[in-house]
Amino acid sequence: MRTIDWVDGRISLIDQTRLPDTLATLEIDDIETLIDAIRRLAVRGAPALGVAGALGVALLGKRGGDVRADAARLRAARPTAVNLAWGVDRVLAKLDEGPDATLAEALLIMNEDIRRNRELAFRGAAWLTERIGHPVNVQTHCNAGGLACVEWGTALGIVRALGETDGLGHVYVDETRPLLQGARLTAWELAQQGIPHTVVVDSAGPSVIARGLADAVVVGADRIAANGDVVNKIGTYPLALAAARAGIPFVVAAPESTVDLATPDGEHVEIEIRDPAEIVGPGKTNALNFAFDVTPADLVTAIITDERIIHGKPLG
Ligand code: MRU
């Protein structure tokens, strides 16, 4: 089942706020509902947001009206993952060719997502197997699986590919505060695939690494800056520090659409700050709810994309 799809002229997406209890889809044919679904993380994860942006512009192209103004609001629904803006812009570039051309471009982006992530998954699995040489125990964070993409995940795509090639040991999953993308979504995906896994609280991730339980950290990314800094779900940076201390690889898996050469470094990326109520409940006390953090390039062992493996050097 695809996380996001185009069915009968509408966007059909799995409502991730209801997982793991209920597997239900939302059928969306207006832009306000799509923007709302993005903001409340019914659809989330950088590559899936790219596809949502692309299909959203295709929807706008069909409906008419001030497509560019609506597309600008869609593009800004969440600021950090570059894929959303990338998907919107790629389809907007076809607007003058008419609604059929915009839809064709959006469908191409959606179908390419599966192929590209599959490609990076097997490239990453081969790299880890060659480097580590025995079934690889992995520490991951957030959800960078099929639910964050269309079908094949990025970091969890590598885990799945390791599993298919008998190269996988155990997977440690950070619960991923505050919205529990690890405990709710990653654990659900791994269970579906029969992959052995254990959930730990976020603050235990570095200890999992320090105790030698993980051979590698494998995570996704929301944006990779030109200098190789990696922006990903809050709580990624401590894993990178722990991996460096323990001398294990810190691997980032992302499609090329997540690489943003227009942004020089992590300091220039807008980090989404979400509602304090997600942490402390409504109106109780103040909280600073950063949704993402920056892992400096020098802590990243390798970035695996659908086209290449980048080893701690400037991109380009
Ligand atoms: O807030 P989210 O759930 O959209 O954050 C998602 C992440 O941080 C993922 O790790 C990232 O988008 C990569 S998904 C392949």
Phi first, then psi, for residue 314 (nearest 5°) are -55, 145
pLDDT of the residue at 284? 76
Q: Is the pLDDT of residue 19 over 70?
A: yes
Q: How high does pLDDT run on average in the chain? A: 96
Per residue in 58-71, pLDDT (tens digit) is 999 998 889 999 99
Instruction: Give residue 311's pLDDT.
Output: 85
Query: Per residue in 111-129, pLDDT tens?
Result: 999 999 999 999 999 999 9
Express each pLDDT in 165-220 by its tens digit: 999 999 999 999 999 999 999 999 999 999 999 999 999 999 999 999 999 999 99
Residue 144 CB: number of other CB atoms within 10 A? 35
- pLDDT for 57: 98
- Of 43, 233, 273, which is best to mutate to test ligand 1, by the most ligand atoms within 8 angstroms of its C-beta? 233
Question: What is the pLDDT at residue 312?
Answer: 63
Active site (catalytic) residues: 222
Per-residue model confidence as pLDDT tens digits over 268-313: 999 999 999 999 999 879 999 999 999 999 999 999 999 999 986 5
How much of the chain exceeds pLDDT 90, in percent? 96
Best substitution site from 4, 14, 44, 114 to test ligand 1's pocket, by max atoms within 8 Å of Cβ?
Answer: 44
